[in-house]
Amino acid sequence: MISLTPGPTFMPDFIREILQKPIVYHRSEEFKEMYAEVSRMLKKLFLAIEEYTTLCLTGSGTSAMEMLLANLDPHKKLLITDFGKFSGRWAEIAQAYNLTYTVLQYTWGDYPKVKEVIQAIEQDKDIEVLCLTHSETSTATRMDIEQIAFYAKKTRPDILILVDGITSVGAMPLYTHAWGLDAVITSSQKALGCPPGMSFMVLSPEYIQKAQPCGYTYNLQKYLDSHQKQLTPFTPATQILMAVKRSLEYFIQTGLPAIWNHTHTLAQYTREKIQELGLKLCSDNPSDSLTAFYLPENIKSTEFIEKVYQQTGILLGKGQGEWKERIIRIAHTAYVKQEYVQTALESIKTSISS
């Protein structure tokens, strides 16, 4: 099976091989060396300078989102941009922690504009944290993090900018330090092409300084203390971390610009071919990480995906929420080859017309 779902994404053989190796004991010197190397490479993946701190969590990307909000000063007000299922998750987590927040709400497929976000910050002097989503996976929609962060910091220099980069880090340009971002997260099963189960974050000195660590499992101080020892505070998914290390080696050897260009080229190709079939894209501002498009009204996603899979052995992604049976999503991140997408598109064409 070849997975072109948004995640878990396609896993190359050289990462599968790592998963067959003996497990490394998570309190051994060997693990410490691996952790230190992963931390070093993560800074290169996130494009963060030495002063930033990278942390490894065992858990999905949602666990990383929760950890970021759980360790905030509860008196800080958040501005959240909600334009899909996953960007809306910031508000769900904030509500669970009784945080004060306001939401800029958009219809699915639309996206937050720079002017609208900055106006919201200017009009509410209490906003101290901005929660953004670089690539909204449910609709394959991108938002302009660079410009929003630039003007947000210009308007309010002390504002903290937290970014869900789960499907964008390693697939699209994202410069943590240069763009003035204070926290960015990603997951093992997206662009890195590894099994699901781990998430990663990079934190600015400003985020750490303003944090108020609390709780137990997601207590930031526990992670920072363990990080100093090149360890995690709790038992990590060691095998997945081994795979992530191998993937990071590939990313660094290949070079991020080359990987971004591969993803962008494949995204453009996919979108063009989908539109040539007379199908409509879901997004007004498409992400390069994946493509989402509407099916004809008489076709349900579940049946369509099964049909393509039986023909090709390629698994496509269905929609989320109300779009569950309306759309198809195709990932085209680092390890996806054009031939896989071509095969899927040929099957889509046949299945649509039959």
Q: What are the pLDDT digits (tens) for 55-77?
A: 999 999 999 999 999 999 999 99
- Residue extents of the structural domains in the chain: 14-254, 256-353
Q: What residue type is assigned to position 196 of the chain?
A: P
Class of residue 200 by CB neighbours under 10 A (exposed 0-12, middle 13-18, buried 19+): buried
User: Chain centroid to CA 80: how far?
Assistant: 16
Reply yes or no on whether the pLDDT at 190 is more than 90.
yes
Alpha-carbon distance of 18 to 306, in angstroms, equals 30
| pLDDT score of 353 | 81
CA-based torsion, 272, 273, 278, 281: positive or negative:
negative
pTM of the complete model: 0.97
* Fold entry, domain 14-254: Aspartate Aminotransferase; domain 2 (3.40.640)
Structure tokens at 132: 């953004």
**136: confidence class by pLDDT, cuts 50, 70, 90:** very high
For residues 162 and 183, the answer to whether their CB atoms sit within 8 Å is yes
Exposure string for 302-339, b = 16+ CB within 10 A, e = fewer: eebbebbbeebebbbbbbbeebeebbbbbbbbbbbeee
Q: What pLDDT, in 10s, does the model give residues 228-285?
A: 999 999 999 999 999 999 999 999 999 999 999 999 999 999 999 999 999 999 999 9
CATH superfamily of 256-353: Aspartate Aminotransferase, domain 1 (3.90.1150.10)
For 67, the enclosing helix (H) or strand (E) is helix 61-70
| pLDDT score of 309 | 97
Q: What pLDDT, in 10s, does the model give residues 283-331?
A: 999 999 999 999 999 999 999 999 999 999 999 999 998 899 999 999 9
Alpha-carbon distance of 336 to 331, in angstroms, equals 8
Q: From residue 222, how far is each of 71, 227, 241 by CA, in Å?
A: 11, 8, 19
Q: What residue type is assigned to position 234 of the chain?
A: F
| Alpha-helix runs per DSSP H in 299-337 | 301-312
Question: How is the beta sheet containing 317-318 ordered, strand by strand?
Answer: 290-294, 327-331, 317-318
Per the prediction, the chain carries an average pLDDT of: 97
Q: What pLDDT, in 10s, does the model give residues 85-101?
A: 999 999 999 999 999 99
Q: Which of 267, 308, 268, 273 is nearest to 290 (CA)?
A: 267
